[in-house]
Every structure is written in structure tokens, then in C-alpha cells.
Amino acid sequence: MTRERASDDPRITCLEGTDGGFLVESHTRPGLEHTVHVPEGTCSCEAGQYGAQCWHLDLCRAVYYWRRYARRARLWARRAARRAATMADSPQASSPPKE
């Protein structure tokens, strides 16, 4: 008996309206999705139901924290650009230094 297997790259879907909620495709059972909630550390898979660590939760944690970091990095970049533009427009920036 051969078992169909989902792709090696599982499909991850962010649940809209949640903070850290994801749907993750099962690695061994195509078409089955597990619900993961990163802040609570829960997963609806068999291992997660028994409180064990599962790869779904590990994967979603990586995605969750990467997205948070990327969001903060974009915010920091925008703030730095605004600060640089404000400094370039100020009269002190165009005047020669005082001796």
C-alpha cells in the first residue's frame, strides 16, 4: 500500500482577524489542515492535542516571528527616512558650520 503525501513545502495560511493564527496542511495526509495558534502554543494535530511539541507549531512560530520582525523593520526604515528628510529640510542643515 502506498500513501499519498502532501508536498514537501506545506501550505501555510494566516487566519485573518487573529494574532498568530494559522492553518497548516498536514505533511502526511493531503487535504487535512491543522489549526495553529502561536501565542497560545496550541495545534489541533494529534501531538498538539496531547500537549506535545509538533512541527506545525515550530513552523508557524518561525513564520509568526519573522513576519513581526519584518513589520518592525519596515516601520524603523520609514521612521529613519522621515527623520532624514526632516533634517535635510531644516535651516540648520543648509547653513555652514559655526566656528
Label residue 95 by pLDDT band (50, 70, 90): low
Contact between residue 25 and residue 33 where contact means Cβ atoms under 8 Å apart: yes
Gap between the Cα atoms of 60 and 55, Å rounded:
8
Label residue 90 by pLDDT band (50, 70, 90): low
Q: Where are the domains of the chain?
A: 12-86
Condensed to tens digits (0 to 9), the pLDDT of residues 14-72 reads 888 888 999 999 888 888 999 999 999 999 999 999 988 899 999 999 999 998 899 88
Global pTM value: 0.66
Q: What is the DSSP string of 7-59?
A: -SS--EEEPTTSSSEEEEE-SSSTT-EEEEETTTTEE-SHHHHTT---HHHHH
Judged against a pLDDT cut of 70, whether residue 97 lies above it is answered with no
